[in-house]
Structure 1
Amino acid sequence: MEKIKIGLLGFGTVGQGVWKILNSNMKEIALKCGHEIEIKKILVRDVNKKREVNVPKHILTTNPNEIFNDEEIKIVLELIGGENPAKEYILEAARLKKHVVTANKLVVANHAEEIFKVINDNNVMICYEASVGGGIPIIRSINESLTANRIKEIIGIVNGTTNYILTKMTEDGVEFKDALKEAQRLGYAEADPTLDIEGYDTVYKLAIMSSLSFNTPVNVNLIYREGITKIKSTDIEYAKKFGYAIKLLAIAKEEKGSLELRVHPAMINKNHPIANIRDSFNAIYIRGNAVGDLLFCGRGAGDLPTGSAVVSDVISIIRSNFNNTSFVQYENNNHKMNVKDSNDYVSKFYVRLNVKDKPGVLGQIAAILGHNNVSILSVTQDVLEEHNVNLVFITHEAKHKQIVNSLEEIKALEGINSVENVIRIYEE
């Protein structure tokens, strides 16, 4: 059986997962793709570093040209992460007529147009299933299984770190900082967790899913973003009281030819399937006009789940290019859809204020909201300490800018100590 030789750029968690899968499942993989797969070279920073897996030292290198200039290597796996040199490695591999597999959501989200041009010009393939949702086969499902549909909406939990943190806060009653420390201890969160907890990681993944689902380029800078750092255990308890769970959601909707793209914490009804996704799991809920509602759920990170997606991409490339079968490449779409101004996004809102416990304050707040065309659905008041109370209200649907304008006026009132939090409420 002919061997297809591949090169790995990077040998961290995902790269080692690929090594494990190829070594443990090679017989099944060979039967499925008609070829054996051999890892010929692996780019690492330190050849002598101790690793979880035992790799023959002669296949390790610190020189990427040993992979790029090797004509036997037909497929390059970019698994180093980050923007550069990962992007340049992808482009270099394509220019040298090598197919590419990547797990790099940052590069795919920000540089798809440039990368796909080089890929198409050199008649090679790029696959990036592992860039979204770890082992969940969401990219292939959108590109192949759902092509008969007009996708109307995507709602996703696509960051395992933040979902783990919110799960700990919900189930154990801990505050954000303590849940984050636990996530770091378990390896779910990096020493610098900014990309996860501030929502950037989720933004990149939403951009990739949206561009494929709606056949349009997506500028990540146009996606509205909020992280989870402002969520307090108090907000978690109020959410439970109102019948909600708090999740960091990636939301994409198409309406009348325009897109609504947003990443933020949201209260979602506890009976919604997404609300019950816990721990570090990911879930993506897609609504198609023909198929209806679909839920994809699984591990969103880790060596074997993500490695599984990478190896499946390798198999797809082999089937398409070495078995004389056909494959439709992704090409840049010149049709560009408009992204709505985030100020015009509409939802219900949860607002928590710290106010002085004296007559007339609620009336003043209600007057300001009414002046800005914001209607109150419900109000809850709980004593915080002497002379101060938590004033929590849920609004009817309102535009983001109406809430922002209202709170600017409310903060100026004499009876307001602080605006503690504002959280959107997701409803279908």
Structure 2
Amino acid sequence: MKPCIGIGVIGFGTVGSEVVRLLLEGIERPDFGLELKKVADLDIVTPRGVEVPKELTTTDAEEVIESEEVGIVVELIGGIEPARTYILEAIARGKDVVTANKALLAQCGDEIFHAAVEAGVDVGFEASVGGSMPVIRALREGLAGERIERLYGILNGTTNYILTRMEEEGLPFSEALREAQEAGYAEADPSLDISGRDALQKLVVLLRVAFGISASPGEVFCEGIEGITPQDIEYAREFGYKVKLLATAKRVGEGIEARVHPTLVPQKSMLANVREEFNALELVGEGVGHQLFYGKGAGGRPTARAVASDLVSLASRRLSGATPRVGELLDSSGLKLMPVEEAVMPYYFRFLALDRPGVLAQIARVLASEGISIASVIQKGRAEEAVPIVMMTHEAREDAVRRAVARIDELEVVRGRTQVIRVEEL
């Protein structure tokens, strides 16, 4: 009889119920089996579309953690607490852990990985980034010997759906958000997604895996899509770009530049053509060049499949007696995050200025004083009131752009705040 590893699941929601379904249907391997031993959730009464034997269910997560039949604990409740406590307790009892909890790993990754090293167990987190895209495993295994130079990610399906609707239908942000909520792609409270914080948490996880750097979300610049307008999307199109919420990380000298914000990307680039709720990650390696991963970044079934891949991997390692690999996730690269103020890239500006002679010259003088060179300008129509002046710049430093925009916004001929969108040529 082939050996079997017992699985305990904490969290029986959208993803948890799909993981339980997979385990009950059977994740068959020729050399071992995975068997569901316990499922814990505060609500085990509400139907989930999957029948679980009553003796396997509990409302007490400690039963899962303490069960001697459970070798791997799957945490799928999300948030920081009590997920952190449950994971650390499971590790202390010598159990491997699988989690999809990007927020927890972004905030408490060092603590969890150190605990796992000390206990001699492993942690799987493929499902924390990219849903169905196997990006964590690709970085840790297929590209383990590769030096990653840059990565660019569309890591949030909600914001990509919203920007797609704004681009293709000309919808304002508020209406596109409402459509996303009606379609089930956005929560009733969408702030985590539209603020960029969801993508930020995923980027922090990727920084650890791709560059060996431990960072906290507060150390990485983040800006959401709330201020993007159909006007910006149309002007971007005229310049040959599309607007995406992009997570970016790249080697610059001896440091890593990391940021999340709306970004103009060339229309012909691969990432520009990722539509609706889909995610994508483009990796650029020193030897392999460009690698693209594409797929659904969320949802019960895609995420459950990523959890299942971790279960198979950890079970195989556990049965073979191989040494856990979690130690490689501790910060050992010596690389540091660069201040975002030192970042250099092209920029898109949209000013609202009075339609008078000499206005463009005033703006250009301020930009020139900060070393910012104009690449192209669009100014349409004439009006008695303010009109938009839209510019693309050559590469400029972030701190110089901030100083210039602050001064321009104080000019007597300028109305309102300048719209600034960063550009990546990919």
Decide: shared fold, TM above 0.5: yes
Q: In structure 1, what is the equivalent of residue 226 of structure 2?
A: 229
> Shift of the alpha carbon at 1:211?
1.3
Tell me the distance in 1 between the aligned counterparts of 2:227 and 2:387.
19
Structure 2 residue 16 is the aligned partner of structure 1 residue 19: no
Look up the SS of the partner of 1:416 in the other structure. coil
Find the partner of 1:142 among 130, 139, 146.
139
Pick from 240, 251, 255: which aligns with 2:237? 240
RMSD: 1.5
Residues 1:6 and 2:4 are matched in the alignment: no
Instruction: Specify the code of the residue in structure 2 equivalent to 1:161.
Output: T
Counting only pairs closer than 5 Å after superposition, residues 26-425 of structure 1 correspond to structure 2 as: 26=26, 29-32=27-30, 34-325=31-322, 328-331=325-328, 332-383=330-381, 386-425=384-423
Letter in structure 1 aligned against 2:235: Y
Secondary structure of residue in 2 paired with 1:271: coil
Q: Which amino acid aligns with 2:358?
A: G
Contact 1:47/1:57 (<8 A) preserved: no
Distance 2:44 2:316 in 1: 32
Q: CA deviation at 1:111?
A: 1.1
| CA deviation profile, 1:68-116 (whole Å, cap 9, x unmatched) | 1110111100000011111111101000111100000111111111111
State the Cα distance separating 1:175 from its structure 2 match: 0.9
Once the two structures are overlaid, the 10-residue window that deviates more, 235-244 or 335-344, is 335-344
The answer as to whether partners of 2:122 and 2:325 remain within 8 angstroms in 1 is: no
What amino acid maps onto 1:12 in structure 2?
A: G
| Structure 1 residues 4-38: Cα deviation after superposition (integer angstroms, max 9, x where no partner) | 211111011111121233344x2xx3235x22222
CA distance, structure 1, for counterparts of residue 5 and residue 404 of structure 2: 62
> Which runs of no fewer than 5 residues in structure 2 stay unpaired?
none
Tell me the TM-score normalised to structure 2 length: 0.96
* Aligned amino acid, residue 337 of structure 2: V
Q: 1:133: Cα distance to partner?
A: 0.3
Distance in 2 (CA, whole Å) between partners of 1:17 and 1:177 is: 32
Decide whether aligned partners of structure 1 residues 294 and 263 sit closer, same or farther in structure 2, where only a CA change above 3 A counts: same
Distance 2:349 2:370 in 1: 15
Asked if 2 retains the 8 angstrom alpha-carbon contact of 1:250 and 1:262, the reply is: yes
Q: How many residues align?
A: 424
TM-score relative to the length of structure 1: 0.96
Q: CA deviation at 1:171?
A: 1.0
How many percent identity over aligned positions?
Answer: 42
What CA distance in whole angstroms lies between the structure 1 residues aligned with 2:67 and 2:304?
24
Q: Distance in 2 between matches of 1:308 and 1:232?
A: 36
Alignment check: 8 A CA contact 1:78 1:102 kept: yes
- CA gap of 1:416–1:4, structure 2 versus 1, over 3 A, is same
* Distance in 1 of aligned mates of 2:332 and 2:280: 30
1:32-79, CA deviations, whole angstroms, 9 ceiling, x for partnerless residues? 5x2222212111112222223232333221111211111011110000
1:379 aligned partner, one-letter code: V
Q: Distance in 2 between matches of 1:134 and 1:399?
A: 34
Paired amino acid for 1:69: E
CA separation in 1, counterparts of 2:163 and 2:218?
Answer: 25
SS in 1 for 2:67: coil
> Gaps (5+ residues) in structure 1?
none
Distance 1:325 1:250 in 2: 34
How far does residue 325 in structure 1 lie from its aligned partner after superposition? 4.8
Measure, in 1, the Cα distance between the counterparts of 2:177 and 2:333: 41
Cα distance between partner residues in 2 of 1:223 and 1:266: 16
* Separation in 2, partners of 1:396, 1:231: 21
